[in-house]
A and B are shown apart, each in its own frame.
Chain A
Amino acid sequence: MQSISAAGDGLNFLFKCIALYNGSSFCLVLYLLGLVFIALKGGKELKRIFLYPGLIILFTVYNPLLPLIINRFFDINKEYYRFMWIPPVCILPAFLAAAYVMGEGRSRGFRIVGFAGFLLLFAGIGSFVYGKGYVPAENVYKIPNEVMAVSKLIRENTDMKYPVAVMDRDMQMEIRQYDATILLACDRTQYLDFLGDVDEDQLTREKNEYVNRLLSVIAKYEKIDKDSFREALNKTNTQFVVVERVSPMLRYLSDAGLESVGTTGSRVVFKFELEDPQYLDLADYSGVW
């Protein structure tokens, strides 16, 4: 929840959080209706199981003051939504539906119609997790074949045990899951902060200077001075640059002196001849052990 903050939104933070958390789904409404039903019709046991904790949840997790109080001690802007995992939003409606459909003395026909009715209701009030399509895994590793192809291309074109690379965002996030011997010039936070134009303090800006130059080219398609780009590659020991085939920077990278060593389905792998390559190896702990 990057777009909201307890300090900035004040009492509205919670309501914005609820809106983002639930999206177009009305399961929370169903849960609240379930609590009302139990309050009105439920027995003592059901009230103890669902209603009392439910009321405490309403007065705590769903209290607009709570995030503001917590935020005085911890930065919870991005993670307050996890407290919304606490109410049994799916369990309570499912329980009431099952109890209703399978109640004493129900005929077989009633049960079938009731069962189908609840399936329709649940589907109608929710948003389907695969609503935008179900993408089957391409292989047993459950990553795109392309990641494996890029890894192979890098391995075939380097004599380094631990080559350093910089890549487009999606490839950057997946390559080390498959091949952890490929090192990356920048970490996830640096990458996402750069893409999100997060303000950096002076110290961080200086620390990230070379990485930011690389990302300007790879992620923001900025045609910075080529010498400056090459300097950033040398300073970060970055030997490989992986960009999408549709990237407008292909020509720029060639002009900057990088050599295309191969293409995969939608990626181009460029190699840069480092002026002073550093052959990285693992830290030596043999003396410690």
Chain B
Amino acid sequence: MIIKFYCFLAVMLNILIYFVLGSLITGRLKKLRFSATLSLITGFFLYYVLFELLCIPMTLSFRPLHFLSRIWAGVLIILFIISVFMNHRKWAVLCGESCAFVRSHPHFCLFSLFLLITELIIIIGCYQFTLDAAFYVGSANTCLTTDSLNIYNPYTGMWQDHFEMRYFFANYAVNDAVMCFLTGLHPLVWTKTVMEAVVIILVNTVIYRMGCALFKGDTGKTGVFMFFTVYLSFFYSTIYTAQEFFITRTYEGKTLIGSLVIPLILLVYIKLLEDPGYSFYWWLLFLMSVGSLVLSNSASMIFPAALGIFMLSLFLIKKDIRILVKTALVVLPCLMSVLSYVLYVKGYFVIRTMPG
């Protein structure tokens, strides 16, 4: 029971961190009203982009996990303080608005909460066996146990003489290991309970915002839309669908690509239809581009494809060449990741795990 309480606190901590980080960006926006859900989503990707910026140099300099963990904790604390200083007034206003929203839409709020809790109980309560967990959870546990960053083979635990470039940028599991080090939770508990809950909350947040965008804020229709979307997900099930990944492989980084990133691209596309020049959404897409690479190396192909499809549509509608230029810039990190992997596979370079 105590560990479940710790898990609850860890989930809340994650949500708080994303919200606080996201507020650093969304709190500065002039055109958009300050939003908790938008801050949460923005903060999630900002979190992983910042983590990557710290993790890659640490990995290349063979630093131990505990060193990265302490530095990362320090960075988060500093950003937390800065965000409190910059956004506390906005948060106070948001609290008031949120309370007013709950009072004016009690049925919608209760219904959404019920839907979310039901998903959490069903998905987290289920035993999930997938072969890929040997990588995603095994990698986090290996980094934690060996106090190192991607130096040991997660499948066998044996030392590797070079970094596997396929996973070099996908440091989602390393972040899991870092958070396990900081919280003291076992990687299995962190990945299969805490992060699962976080992912479910984030995916539902995107579905909620999608409903708001499609139904112009009509909470009744949005509630039914959310329910139908979640319900249908439980019936679109083969071992390949994004929905199956979301329900049975929630702890895997690539699940987030199918269940969070792609629906979010659609949501941003809907927003860009209204104002294709609004820079915030392009910056959000850029954060998503880099952040997705951290979640899973699959993003290096899927993200450009998904974004390309929606932005090509936007270009055909708006007939503005700048849309294509911005899209190309946004997907550049993904394409560079593909290029580096191809060069590695072709034998042009290798990064050793020991200097000299």
A residues with CB within 8 A of B: 1, 20-23, 25, 27, 45, 48-49, 52-53, 56-57, 60-61, 74, 76, 79, 81-86, 88-91, 93-95, 97-99, 101-102, 115, 118-119, 122-123, 125-131, 134-138, 140-144, 162, 170, 172-174, 176-189, 192, 282-283, 285, 288-289
Contacts and interface: CB of A to CB of B under 8 A. Distances in A.
B266 A102 contact: no
Given A90-B243, A129-B237, A136 B127 contact: yes
A4 to B, nearest CB: 12
Interface stretch (B42-50, B134-142, B283-291, B321-329): B134-142
A13 B6 CA distance: 48
Contacts of B23: none
Contact of A88 (B131, B220, B228, B266): B266
Contacts of A91: 207, 210, 229, 263, 266
25 contacts: A22-B238, A25-B238, A25-B241, A27-B235, A85-B241, A85-B242, A98-B222, A102-B218, A123-B235, A127-B237, A128-B235, A130-B126, A136-B125, A140-B4, A140-B189, A141-B189, A142-B127, A143-B127, A173-B131, A176-B156, A178-B141, A180-B144, A183-B157, A183-B158, A289-B63
A27 B235 CA distance: 8
B240 A177 contact: no
A119 B231 contact: yes
B131 A137 contact: no
Nearest to A172: B134
A97 B228 contact: yes
A129 B244 contact: yes
A136 B221 contact: no
Given A79-B298, A86-B302, A91-B266, A187 B156 contact: yes
A61 B192 CA distance: 32
B145 A98 contact: no
B82 to A, nearest CB: 30
Give the one of B131, B189, B316 with max A CB within 10 A: B131
B193 A140 contact: yes
B127 A135 contact: yes
Interface residues of B, number: 93
A21 B240 contact: yes
B229 A94 contact: yes
A53 B167 CA distance: 31
Return the 3 tightest CB-CB contacts between A and B, nearest first.
A126-B235, A94-B228, A23-B238
Contacts of A135: 126-127
Interface string B206-236: 0100110011001011101100110111111
A144 B127 CA distance: 8
Given A137-B125, A288-B355, A180 B234 contact: no
Nearest to A93: B232
A88 B233 CA distance: 11
A189 B154 CA distance: 12
A95 B215 CA distance: 9
B270 interface: yes
B157 A142 contact: no
A147 to B, nearest CB: 10
A177 B125 contact: no
Contacts of A131: 237
A99 B158 contact: no
A222 to B, nearest CB: 22
A25 to B, nearest CB: 6
A189 B134 CA distance: 11
Nearest to A76: B301
Given A56-B312, A187-B156, 14 more contacts: A22-B241, A48-B273, A53-B313, A82-B254, A85-B306, A86-B309, A94-B231, A102-B218, A122-B228, A176-B141, A180-B138, A181-B145, A285-B354, A289-B62
Contacts of A134: 122, 126
Nearest to B136: A177
Given A56-B309, A93-B228, A184-B155, A27 B236 contact: yes
Contact of A89 (B156, B222, B236): B236
Interface string B60-77: 011110010000000000
Nearest to A50: B266
A90 B232 contact: yes
Nearest to A119: B231
Nearest to B241: A21
Contacts of A188: 131, 134-135, 155
Give the one of B159, B243, B269 with max A CB within 10 A: B243
Interface in B93-119: none
Contacts of A142: 127-128, 188, 192-193
Contact of B262 (A86, A115, A144, A176): A86
A252 to B, nearest CB: 24
B236 to A, nearest CB: 4
A215 to B, nearest CB: 13
